[in-house]
Amino acid sequence: MAGIGSEDLANVRSQWFGSVYEIADIDYQRRTWLSPPNSSPHWSYIEFCCSYPDADQLQFARDCGHLSSKEFELLSALGEAILSHKAKDDYDNRAILEDPSWLAVVAKAEVTRQQLLAVTADAIEQSYLTGKMGAACVPSEHTCSLRSRSGDPSLRRVQEYSP
């Protein structure tokens, strides 16, 4: 995150918090995965999961002082839960929405969302956590081609993702 300006940093953090909201809201998932608001590939299990920050990005942000230890702990634990979930078919959104193991991830995301709301004073970040801003309001047209988990943890993937 070196070389990232404060406005870019705020955008990255907000996007990450918006991803927490997307994972935490099962009704939102049902609405957008089963009846997408547009043709964007974002409206799927795969895209919601790949939009979530990876461990290297979170660690880099923490090391640079851009995440508090509590934020890092919460986001990392949720990231581990997301990565641990194994769908029988990554493209069967309906089945995933009924999968008890996915519902456990959603429940963990809701606890994480509530805990982040309790420690986040920034009104814009709070609006992403509540679904009042971000992809929940403005459908995006990005693709998951940026999912690569290797290479420089510079947040390039997250910066290019613009809900």
Give the model's confidence band at 162: pLDDT under 50 very low, under 70 low, under 90 confident, else very high.
very low
Residue 147 has what pLDDT? Answer: 30
Residue 142 has what pLDDT? Answer: 35
Residue 136 has what pLDDT? Answer: 54
Q: What is the pTM of this model?
A: 0.79
**109-128 pLDDT tens trace:** 999 999 999 999 999 999 99
Residue 3 has what pLDDT? Answer: 57
Q: At a CB cut-off of 8 Å and minimum separation 6, what does 31 contact?
A: none
Residue 150 has what pLDDT? Answer: 32
**57-98 pLDDT tens trace:** 999 889 888 899 999 999 999 999 999 999 999 999 999 999
**4-31 pLDDT tens trace:** 666 676 788 899 999 999 999 999 999 9
- Which residue in the block uniquely carries the two structure tokens 């002082």? 65
Domain parsing of the chain, residue ranges: 10-140+152-160
Give the model's confidence band at 41: pLDDT under 50 very low, under 70 low, under 90 confident, else very high.
confident
Residue 67 has what pLDDT? Answer: 93
